[in-house]
Amino acid sequence: MTHHDVTTSKGASQGQTIQVIVDLRRRDNTTSRIKAHADVEVRIDSLGSINVFGFSVFEPEGKPLIVLPPAHKGERKSFPHVKLTGKVKSMIESAILRECQNLSETEKE
């Protein structure tokens, strides 16, 4: 699991610490482009936390890994369960990709 801490500095939440914790599960099926699944907990100091389950780490052909948010898969398209924007989006995606990279490096040793 990865812990990624950020301290905010603006607005009503000044001085709040935001912690992103990733629980990553690698897929053993090497034929799938989905390489891992992740659940994320975002802790905001004493305010509490937000848990988001069901992120996927996708490997597009010939491109770097990307993080897909949880979604309901329909017949023709997926319908997202959550929409992330701004710094929260980059914090969560970076934490998931970092955990994926750390796990890959650990497996190489």
Residue 17 CB contacts under 8 Å (≥ 6 apart), including other chains: 5, 6, 7, 8, 43, 44, 45
pTM for the structure as a whole: 0.78
Q: What's the CA angle centered on 96, arms 95 and 100, to 5 degrees?
A: 115
**Where is pLDDT greater, at 7 or 9?**
7
Strands annotated E in 13-96: 17-26, 34-44, 48-58, 66-68, 71-73, 78-80
3 pLDDT tier (thresholds 50, 70, 90): low
Average pLDDT over residues 29-57: 90
Residue 54 has a pLDDT of 95
